[in-house]
Structure 1
């Protein structure tokens, strides 16, 4: 396999740094979903932890490094999950954490960031404006700027999911990964292509936020002017070139799914798996719904990556029309 920025030995070592509460998450076959999807389905559940997403795997590495050698302060831009995770990992180590987010981000995520003791600054714009503001704060204050997917710790932390999946291969043949900035896709993809190369790595993104998927298909950075999706956790407009380079090495395919399929996926996970998930976590199920013939007679794993959702919006989405 051509090289990526990631290193398998470092990823193995990361398991000794990450709080065990984020590790060895449940992986189980969910037979109740299978009649509705037409294939064997296993769920990798990344929500049963204090921040209810996979992001803690990466922020544990960042915070541990800062506690040992760096400035004991950091700032990140976040649509919610990274900010919660960094706040949790930073609080545990006595770090000063600041988070910049859009004023339009999910209120439940913003409330949790505050509750975890981080300083929260809101901007009147989308995530790209929040990224610019976080960068300015880091330069002004001389603190660590944590950039999801660009910072290798965020990718290699997420890659520990891949180690756990590789231990279960070859019981499955496809893994479906929500694609936003790319930390989880490149991390998990790197490990599987190294340790279980026969597993197909399929990335899934909403049609209303297609920048990274378009970039993968065109093999160059493609930006978009706007986003229009309920899946806020993957709603970026400007892919990071270094992350795209890694994704081109490890992903076998990248697909786009419609909003209706995302909602249908959330409803299936609720009704037949007993899981309350945010829209980004239903992308894998949405991909199967839209590509039944492709996945028929296969065994797919979908990574349920987050469950931080606005309760009122969630009930509107999953309630029958």
Structure 2
């Protein structure tokens, strides 16, 4: 394991200068309505308050600004939906030729939005990792820049600007919270935010959260080596990867204090809580932090945690099924 990450705090601060301000300085606020049911103080970092409704635009802005500066203006990525939307947005604004490869089973709302933003969309039979393989083939054969989420430092360092906004308090004051709950998929947000938090506020605990039905990165973190899975089974499509990237795992091992797995019913309960107590419609990946508190209230009792609400691109019909009726005894 490396003792340092691939990320650089100076570059992360510089990234803020090239990211469209529409993605920066997202709301961060304490949400007292959530606190009685969760048993701890909760602050929300709202990464859905932007045109692509997820944090991914921070990283794609860094990538697109560099591509627009010279070289190939064609770019391809694999996406579960949110990265594709973000790259399409950033590319459209800079005149790039964007191709997005996605599973045909991805949420229709995300696929429709990618098309609407002007990207070329190619669908594959299979899951996100199948789409990754196809995107890599397009890049190889066409001489196109491949954007690989989490492996490309721009995606991590763009996401890391969230960490700057969390810990750069007025007058250098330490943040009021003692833990950050971060959704864990490929690892861009977890390693990016984790890098900044550990560099600038090392006393804050970085806790990564992943669905039990898509546990590859968490298993890899626990065993300190890459662990792949054959399948995934979770409604949290944005974090449903099977094949962790070794370099990203090495970064995660440096910055994450813990990685936990949560059940599907906890994810839907978290979505329900965010709707009823915070007025937030979120996709399943964005409710992972709340789900982690629900599953281990004793661990967080009396503490102040921040949960990063990372996306709100959700199929309306599916959302209503997930949050419509709470099982007996649940919120």
TM-score tier, shorter chain, comes to over 0.9
* C-alpha distance in 1 between matches for 2:168 and 2:147: 30
Deviations 1:183-241 (A, max 9, x none): 00000000000000000000000000000000000000000001000000000000000
Range moving further from structure 2, 132-141 or 302-311: 132-141
Counterpart in the other structure of 1:278: 283
| Distance in 1 of aligned mates of 2:317 and 2:71 | 40
| Corresponding residue number in structure 1 for 2:248 | 243
Aligned to 1:30: 31
Residue aligning to 1:98: 99
Matching residue of 2:88: 87
Tell me how far apart the structure 2 counterparts of residues 319 and 61 of structure 1 sit (CA, whole Å): 38
Structure 2: runs of 5 or more not aligned: 327-331
Q: Of 307, 310, 329, which aligns to 1:305?
A: 310
**Residue 70 of structure 1, CA deviation:** 2.8
Q: Paired residues, what number?
A: 321
Q: Does 1:17 align with 2:15?
A: no
Shift of 1:170: 2.5
Q: Does 1:54 align with 2:59?
A: no
TM-score (norm 2): 0.96
Instruction: Measure the CA separation in 2 of the matches of 1:242 and 1:70.
Output: 26
Q: Please give the secondary structure, in 2, of the residue aligned with 1:68.
A: coil
Alpha-carbon RMSD: 0.8
Q: Does 1:292 align with 2:297?
A: yes
Q: Which moved more, 1:167-176 or 1:71-80?
A: 167-176
| Correspondence 1:41 to 2:42 | yes
1:2 CA displacement? 2.8
In 1, Cα distance between the equivalents of 2:238 and 2:66? 25
* Distance apart, 1:69 and its partner CA: 2.2
CA–CA distance in structure 1, aligned partners of residues 65 and 255 of structure 2 = 27
Whole-angstrom distance in 2 between the partners of 1:220 and 1:3: 17
1:108 is matched with 109
- Residue number in structure 2 paired with 1:258: 263
The CA deviation at 1:167 is 1.7
Q: Give the TM-score normalised by the residue count of structure 1.
A: 0.99
Whole-Å separation in 2 of the counterparts to 1:36 and 1:212: 29
Q: Report the counterpart of residue 198 of structure 1 in structure 2.
A: 203
1:5 is matched with: 6
Note if contact 2:166-2:175 (Cα within 8 Å) is conserved in structure 1.
no
Q: List aligned pairs for 1:170-185, cutoff 5 A.
A: 170-185=175-190
Contact in 1 for aligned 2:102/2:124 (Cα 8 Å): yes
SS at match of 1:227: coil
Distance in 1 (CA, whole Å) between partners of 2:235 and 2:168 is: 33
Match of 1:122, SS?
strand
Q: 1:29 Cα shift?
A: 0.1
CA distance in 2, matches of 1:77, 1:170: 35
Where 1:53 maps in the other structure, the secondary structure is: coil
The 8 Å contact of residues 42 and 305 in structure 2, kept in 1 or not, is answered as yes
Deviations 1:233-291 (A, max 9, x none): 00000000000000000000000000000000000000000000000000000000001
SS at match of 2:42: strand
Q: Distance in 2 between matches of 1:278 and 1:6?
A: 28
Counterparts of 1:171 and 1:19 in 2: how far apart (Å)? 28
1:67 matched to which residue of 2? 68
After TM superposition, which residue ranges in structure 1, 4 or more long, deviate above 3 angstroms?
Answer: none
